Chains A and B, each alone.
Chain A
Amino acid sequence: MAIRVGIIRALLYYRLYPFWKTFFNSLGIEVIVSGKTTKKLLKKGLKYAPDEACLSIKVAFGHVKDLMDKVDYLFLPRLVSLERGTYICPKFIGFPDMIRSAFDNLSPLIDTSFNLRKRPSNLFFPMYRIGRIFKKSPLFIYRAYKRALEEESKYLSSLQKGILLPEVLSSWEERRTLRSSNPKGNLCIALVGHPYNLYDSFVNLNIIKKLEDLGARVVTPEMVSPLEIKKEADKIPQEVYWSLGREIVGASLYLLESKSIDGLIHLGSFGCGPDSFLRELIADRARKHPEIAYLSLILDEHTGEAGVVTRLEAFIDLIERRKKRSIRLSY
């Protein structure tokens, strides 16, 4: 029977899954993914996670609990830095340790460190170390690594086609052609935030569908080209050194400048340090574009549906009323 490696459907899953999965499969290893986030799964996570952690980490705890008895190895890489000059959040760096101290009877963890801050070209080394855990030959590992890179670049370029990430990811997984959703909304709303908040429809109370039901077409940072993101992020006088934060800021600025959107929503999670800065930074930049409405939403495990719905409805109404100024608020 093939060895089974577990990948959690949380944190950077939404970005790195095609890369990891291709790598493991090419080594002849089966990949098992935890189920979608549900109330039950989150509850399990809350039981084990430290109180001070952000919502996203608590959710990830739930996914570990969901997976831990089904796999031979748990893949929880220690992501320090994935590109030159920036860092992944410190909670990600410490995540494998948090998991080790929280759970007993864990399957062996694969917590290989990825620190590419100085030399992004060093990506092969941690991959090699992972491959050696399974006693694979260097050439075999190298081939798997190459294949993973190819799949990743295909995936990333599909994300640029203006189609939302969940569809791109499932079309990649099911090896089928991309279904373009028919954007019927008259309004274009940019939804920015960490991918694990944007695309976990349980955590975000199904915000994308809610916006679509209100008649909006949703765009996200993944649709903005990395070049544009870099160009905009470089304009910030103080360097944003969190990888995802840098991307969120760069994409937000690009979308604000592009004039292609009617509104911008920053979706942050409670207890997220970078989000608390990003929110203010983006709000400040959004104020310079009075024609684009800005809304900040903060999610936590207690977030009530009513509050989110009221804010979204009011936000969309605000934009629509502004658009048709002919029917003014006052006669």
Chain B
Amino acid sequence: MDTYLGIDVGSISTNLAVINEERKVLVWEYLLTGGKPIEAVQKGLKEIENKLPSGTEIKGVSSTGSARHLTGILVGADTVKSEIIAHAVAASHLIPEVKTIFEIGGQDSKIIIVRDGVVVDFAMNTICAAGTGSFLDHQAQRLGVPIEEFGDLALQAKAPTRIAGRCTVFAESDMIHKQQTGHVTENIVAGLCQALVRNYLNNVGKGKEILPPTVFQGGVAANKGMKTAFEEELGYEVIVPEYYHVMGAIGAAMLAQETIVETKKTKFKGFEVSEVDYKTRSFECTGCPNLCEVIEVLMNGEVISRWGDRCGKWEVLEK
């Protein structure tokens, strides 16, 4: 069987997905990056290899997410694309009539506007990370609510507390204040979801034409409180797809398939990659006052790639 592998390495989670020629998801894997993208990719590959039925051939690989370039070098990706395109491709395949995509991940959030199956506009959160997974995680911890129960708890709220969601720092102090004045936890949790949704729509979604069908994906889509808050604010149902948390990887797999149509032959280094000793190291180049931070990737102790320099003098590897 011919299949395609997509790898999405984000700040919080590393996701892998394998699709067949018909773009059906065969297996997927979701694991935490834990600040170690190389190990996460290697572990993920091992898991995927174990899950795949024997006789499956990987015909193409693509990487996406914030560690896409690094991952691309590790596995020998056929194409390396930004997560915006990957998410859009996956969503518009699974929900062909989609017009708006909300994607909220661990450290960033995006909005993607799609018309007739083509991305026409997008935006990402800028300096502010309010409303992303990490912030919700942190607040859940502070309130003593396991993140898995956060959404269900929010749904129980009778009168959501109004919380200032303009900025995470203010949101937190506002939440503490509301707790101290006697608001119950479920109302605060629901209020927080509403605040984050308002923040998202006003910042990331500013000036964008948000139309149904709207798909909500990324790790935060697991939170039913957020889905409900979006629906209340927009006045229509928001779709959370089955594979909401690995959509980037699925999209990447589809991009790999597209690429192979043109290039025919994959550059995939095989699942053995999970056994290879990869390391990265960095140094500050003192060649000029720019003091660029140069990153080196080493395979079995040998430098295979470098980047990070503005002038490009380190990018060329000496043989």
Contacts and interface: CB of A to CB of B under 8 A. Distances in A.
B1 interface: no
B122 A331 contact: no
B287 to A, nearest CB: 11
A39 B258 CA distance: 41
A39 B120 contact: no
A322 B85 CA distance: 12
Pick from A283, A330, A331 the residue with the most CB of B within 10 Å.
A330
Interface band, chain B: 20 to 34
A318 B89 CA distance: 11
A328 B258 CA distance: 10
B93 A39 contact: no
Contact of B126 (A298, A318, A328): A298
A252 B261 CA distance: 38
Most chain-A CB neighbours within 10 Å: which of B207, B289, B310?
B289
18 contacts: A35-B289, A40-B291, A41-B289, A201-B310, A202-B290, A202-B310, A310-B82, A310-B83, A313-B82, A314-B84, A317-B85, A318-B120, A322-B118, A325-B118, A328-B118, A330-B117, A331-B23, A331-B93
B81 A317 contact: yes
A318 B114 CA distance: 10
B88 interface: yes
B62 interface: no
Interface string A311-322: 101100110011
A145 interface: no
A243 interface: no
A327 B127 contact: no
Given A39-B289, A293-B121, A321-B119, 20 more contacts: A35-B289, A202-B310, A283-B207, A307-B124, A310-B82, A311-B82, A317-B84, A317-B85, A318-B84, A318-B122, A321-B118, A322-B120, A325-B118, A327-B261, A328-B118, A329-B88, A329-B117, A330-B92, A330-B117, A331-B23
Contacts of B207: 280, 283
Contacts, number: 77
A202 B92 CA distance: 38
B270 interface: no
Interface of B: 23, 66, 81-85, 88-89, 92-93, 96, 114, 117-122, 124, 126-127, 207, 258, 261, 288-291, 310
Nearest to B23: A331
B81 A313 contact: yes
A318 B124 contact: no
A310 B120 CA distance: 16
A40 to B, nearest CB: 4
Interface residues of A, number: 31
B289 A38 contact: yes
Contact of A310 (B84, B289, B291): B84
A135 interface: no
B291 A329 contact: no
Contacts of B119: 314, 317-318, 321-322, 329
Nearest to A313: B82
A40 B288 CA distance: 10
A290 interface: yes
A229 B122 CA distance: 28
B124 A329 contact: no
A26 to B, nearest CB: 33
Contact of A314 (B85, B261, B288): B85
B290 A330 contact: no
A256 to B, nearest CB: 15
In this complex, which of A39, A313, A318 has the most chain B Cβ atoms within 10 angstroms of its Cβ? A318
Contact of B288 (A38, A280, A306, A328): A38
A83 B310 CA distance: 37
Contact of B117 (A35, A280, A310, A328): A328
A321 B96 contact: no
A311 B120 contact: no
A24 interface: no
A75 interface: no
A155 interface: no
B264 to A, nearest CB: 15
Nearest to B95: A330
Nearest to A327: B258
Contacts of A290: 120
Given A318-B119, A328-B117, A331-B93, A39 B291 contact: yes
Contacts of A314: 82, 84-85, 119, 122
B64 to A, nearest CB: 10
A302 interface: yes
A302 B23 CA distance: 40
B118 A39 contact: no
